[in-house]
Structure formats: structure tokens, C-alpha cells
């Protein structure tokens, strides 16, 4: 597509095989972007790409484990080889394991896995992607954080919470470093979203589901498109003066005292 809010832009999206990443891949392609859909599950990413292409968009699938530097480097190279540049780095990949609890009863291997994907992954994509943005005269970095980085929780997932707090802090550092060079960096803090990451365990438990749903003033969990709508704004030129923000899209859950 040559028209749309993202016409002419090349967007690299991690965790693109499902959930918010899949929604973003298809939506961005429909808005005129050429999308590099990165995921560990290459076959699933290819299916998402086929959907994007069927809608008239341009997209390719790239195998990438964001926690492995060699794979990130090769993914960035593949994007530039295919489309000549990168305008947007969309760090969406993340893990939210069911055995992530309080610090006192979370296994070290769980902690290490969560931090490796959720924080190291953002670092590696930015490490190898930012030079491409600079070579292109600037661009946009979109990092997916979480509302749990902003408030405490009596049902903790401490590794996940710590990782998303780190994402916000890193986002602000990048905003200050690279804003003067034309790169704006922003984080989105979603509330509970109905994606495979959440539904594979939490929403199967009625009591756990009700406990969280009762906290959301809007009366429902979020949908992938609720977050992708914000990401679309951050990816396009409408957000040219939005930099260093942690934008909360949570149905009001962080505003709910009782």
C-alpha cells in the first residue's frame, strides 16, 4: 500500500507471531508500512505475514529470539536488506510466566528468563536498531511496558513487574540521548489485555479472572487493538513531539483506589 498513516515507513516488530504483535503487523501493513515481523516461532510469524499481505500490505517474517544477540543482529540486517532502512523499532516481545510470583518464591531461572526477554531483548534490538534509525535521519522506538510497573500488586509477578519498570526507565534514557538526533522513544503501559500471554493461564481461572476484572472501571479486559491504536500513533508522524512518555492504556485500572 502507498497510502495510510505509515506510508513509506519500515517497521520492525518483535513478538509478531501472536497477540498484540500479530495485530500490529497486520494493522501497520494496512496503514502502508512495510513490516518486518520478528518472532521465535517463524512459521506462526509467516502466517501473520500472509494475513497482512492478503490485506494488501507488505511484510516479511524473520526468525528472532530477542534474548540472543546474534539473532537480533541478523534480524536487523534482514530488515535493511529487504526494505533498505528501518523507521520504527516496536519492542513488543515479552514473557509473563505463571510461575513468576513474589521474590521470595520465584525461581532464579524464571527471573533470568523474564529479564532476558523483557529487558535484554529491548536493549539488543535498540543496540543494533538505533544505528539504522540514525542512518535514516531518525525514527520512533516503541517499547511495551505494563501498568504493573506503575503500581504495586497484592498478587505479584515480581520478575515481570521489575522488567517492565526497567523498560520505562530505559525508554526515558533513550528519549534524552537520541531525541536531539531525531529519534523519539516512548513506552506503552497496557492494562490486562486478552492475548495468549494472559489467557493461557489467568483467564482460565474464574476467581483470578474476576479478581482482576473487578478492578477495571471500563468493565472489560483490553483488546490487542486498544494497544495497537496507541502504537500506531507513536509510529506515525502525528507523534513527532511525543518523546519520553509512558502512556497508560489500561481501562482505568491504575486509577482505581477501591
Give the H/E segment covering residue 66. none
> What's the length of the chain?
258
Question: CB neighbours (10 Å) of residue 46?
Answer: 18
Phi first, then psi: what are they for 14, rounded to 5°?
-95, 155
Active-site annotation, residues: 160
171/187 Cα distance (integer angstroms): 6
Q: For the packed helices 158-178 and 108-115, what is the interaxial angle rounded to 10 degrees?
A: 30
* Beta strands 139-144; 10-14: pairing state: unpaired
- Name residue, grid cell 537480533: 72
110/114 Cα distance (integer angstroms): 6
SS3 for 133?
Answer: helix
Question: Contact 52/109 with Cβ under 8 angstroms?
Answer: no
221/202 Cα distance (integer angstroms): 12
Question: Contact 17/46 with Cβ under 8 angstroms?
Answer: no
From residue 112, alpha-carbon distances to 49, 100, 186 in Å are 31, 11, 25
Amino acid at each position: 500500500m502507498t497510502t495510510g498513516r505509515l506510508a513509506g515507513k519500515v517497521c520492525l516488530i518483535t513478538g509478531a507471531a501472536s497477540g498484540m504483535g500479530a495485530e500490529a503487523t497486520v494493522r501497520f501493513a494496512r496503514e502502508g508500512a512495510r513490516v518486518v515481523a520478528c518472532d521465535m516461532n517463524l512459521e506462526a510469524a509467516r502466517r501473520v505475514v500472509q494475513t497482512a499481505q492478503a490485506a494488501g500490505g507488505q511484510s516479511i517474517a524473520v526468525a528472532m529470539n530477542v534474548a540472543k544477540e546474534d539473532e537480533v543482529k541478523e534480524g536487523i540486517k534482514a530488515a535493511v536488506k529487504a526494505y533498505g532502512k528501518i523507521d520504527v523499532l516496536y519492542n513488543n516481545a515479552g514473557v509473563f510466566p505463571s510461575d513468576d510470583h513474589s521474590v521470595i518464591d520465584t525461581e532464579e531461572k524464571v527471573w533470568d528468563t523474564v529479564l532476558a526477554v523483557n529487558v535484554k531483548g529491548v536493549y539488543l534490538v535498540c543496540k543494533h536498531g538505533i544505528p539504522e534509525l540514525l542512518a535514516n535521519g531518525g525514527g520512533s522506538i516503541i517499547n511495551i511496558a505494563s501498568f504493573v510497573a506503575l503500581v504495586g500488586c497484592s498478587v505479584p509477578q515480581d520478575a515481570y513487574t521489575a522488567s517492565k519498570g526497567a523498560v520505562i526507565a530505559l525508554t526515558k534514557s533513550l528519549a534524552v540521548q537520541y531525541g536531539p538526533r531525531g529519534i523519539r522513544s516512548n513506552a506503552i503501559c497496557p492494562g490486562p489485555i486478552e492475548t495468549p500471554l494472559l489467557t493461557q493461564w489467568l483467564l482460565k481461572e474464574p476467581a483470578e479472572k474476576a479478581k482482576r476484572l473487578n478492578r477495571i472501571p471500563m468493565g472489560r479486559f483490553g483488546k490487542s487493538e486498544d494497544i495497537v491504536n496507541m502504537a500506531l500513533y507513536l509510529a506515525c508522524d502525528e507523534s513527532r513531539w511525543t518523546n519520553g512518555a509512558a502512556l497508560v492504556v489500561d481501562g482505568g485500572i491504575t486509577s482505581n483506589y477501591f
